[in-house]
Amino acid sequence: MNIFNELGGLAISTRLQRLSDQFRKEGVLIYKANDIDFEPKWFPVIYALHVKTSLSIIELSEEIGYAHPSTIGLLKELEKNGLVESFKDSKDERKRMVRLTEKAQKLVTKMQPVWEKMKKTAEEITNTANNLLLAMDETEYQLKKEGFLDRYLRLTQEETDSSVSIVDYKPEHAKAFYDLNYAWISETYEVEPEDEKTLSDPEKYYLKDGGAILMALYNDEAVGTCALKWSGEEIVEMSKMTVSKTMRGKKIGDLLGNAVIQKAADLGAKKVILYSNRKGSAAGINLYKKLGFVEVPLSGHNFKRADIKMEMELA
């Protein structure tokens, strides 16, 4: 058995290409055997214009399911061989239409009986217990519902989500809390005295007065954190939110953000505020907006880098 046959879905593109190449190669031989000068790759355009008579470039691309540049490339080749011609739409002169030439129409007439035999031959090949044509219909339907890339990204995210847990801070998380926050602050900003104070003793700074710290664990390794500190009656300040650089882009920040908002509500807060920096934390600000925070006038902050204040009212 060929090594690619053993790979299952991983080799689907390779195996489909292999099948396509074989059908195309032998298709050329069939046309030659019938004294027909025709390339199998031309078939989608020629057949579509045979059935539809004339189409715009965009309509043709949609009809054959090819990208616009690929359709243009085929049309140039067919024009060079005298098989298609373009003309202006009578209703809209800006629209370029294409149709078969008289030469192509005669060629189609000659090819039709050959196509009929090719169709029967292909159906005989694919008429198996796992009918290939039916499987292709089903596969195309599945791809239309959700593309290959979108499915890959969704499955990857689901895998990440299942490996991430958001837990309350414990004393053994002290080093991770310090390291994670020091890494992102020092990467972009100056580590200020207030940073050192809060990072060195998070239990005193956040937990002593009834605040909270959450840790994001990926396969039990701390990869993110966020803290809440009381900042007035029924108001908590969210700060020190970060995700390890190697784990960014996996939506762990989303999970952490939603968890810390729920934690604030559980603590009895009616409002959550935060301070950030527009330039250095642009991605973070986008996340805060996504979570439901809105910008408010800047006031009451202890960090030089803070140039934006945001808040969220809790129901």
Mean pLDDT confidence for 28-40: 94
Query: Residue 53: pLDDT above 80?
Result: yes
Q: pLDDT at position 293, please?
A: 95
Considering only 6-20, 56-70, 195-209, which range has the smallest mean pLDDT? Answer: 6-20
List the strands of the sheet with 96-100, edge to edge: 54-56, 96-100, 84-88
Q: pLDDT at position 249, please?
A: 85
What CATH number is associated with residue 207?
3.40.630.30
Q: How far is CA 77 from CA 82, 92, 101, 221, in A?
A: 9, 25, 14, 57
Query: Residue 94: pLDDT above 90?
Result: no
Q: What is the pLDDT of residues 165-206, one digit of tens each?
A: 999 999 999 999 999 999 988 988 888 888 898 999 999 999
Query: Whole domain around residue 125: which residue ranges?
Result: 3-133
Whether residues 179 and 301 fall in one domain: yes
- Selected residue with higher pLDDT from 283 and 75: 75
Whether residues 178 and 270 fall in one domain: yes
Angle at 109 between CA 108 and CA 114, to 5 degrees: 80
Mean pLDDT confidence for 130-147: 91
Whether residues 7 and 68 fall in one domain: yes
Q: pLDDT at position 250, please?
A: 87
- Give a yes or no: residue 272 inside a domain: yes
Query: Residue 271: pLDDT above 80?
Result: yes
Query: Residue 4: pLDDT above 80?
Result: no
Query: Residue 59: pLDDT above 60?
Result: yes
The pTM (predicted TM-score) of the whole model is 0.61
Q: pLDDT at position 1, please?
A: 54
Look up residue 140 and give its two tokens: 């195309």
Q: pLDDT at position 232, please?
A: 84
Confidence of residue 104 (pLDDT cuts 50, 70, 90): very high
Mean pLDDT confidence for 24-31: 94
Q: How far is CA 170 from CA 7, 47, 93, 225, in A?
A: 45, 69, 72, 12
Q: Report the mean per-residue pLDDT for the chain.
A: 91
What DSSP string describes 106-133?
A: HHHHHHHHHHHHHHHHHHHHH-STT-HH
- Give a yes or no: residue 246 inside a domain: yes
- Selected residue with higher pLDDT from 230 and 315: 230
Whether residues 112 and 202 fall in one domain: no
- Give a yes or no: residue 129 inside a domain: yes
Confidence of residue 130 (pLDDT cuts 50, 70, 90): confident
Whether residues 30 and 113 fall in one domain: yes
Q: pLDDT at position 214, please?
A: 97
Q: pLDDT at position 261, please?
A: 96
Q: What is the pLDDT of residues 198-243, one digit of tens each?
A: 999 999 999 999 999 999 999 999 999 999 999 988 999 999 999 9
Whether residues 41 and 173 fall in one domain: no
**How many independent structural domains does the chain possess?**
2
The C-alpha atoms of residue 93 and residue 228 are separated, in whole angstroms, by 64
Confidence of residue 63 (pLDDT cuts 50, 70, 90): very high
- Give a yes or no: residue 157 inside a domain: no
- Give a yes or no: residue 151 inside a domain: no
Q: Three-state SS for 38?
A: coil
Whether residues 170 and 293 fall in one domain: yes
Q: pLDDT at position 129, please?
A: 86
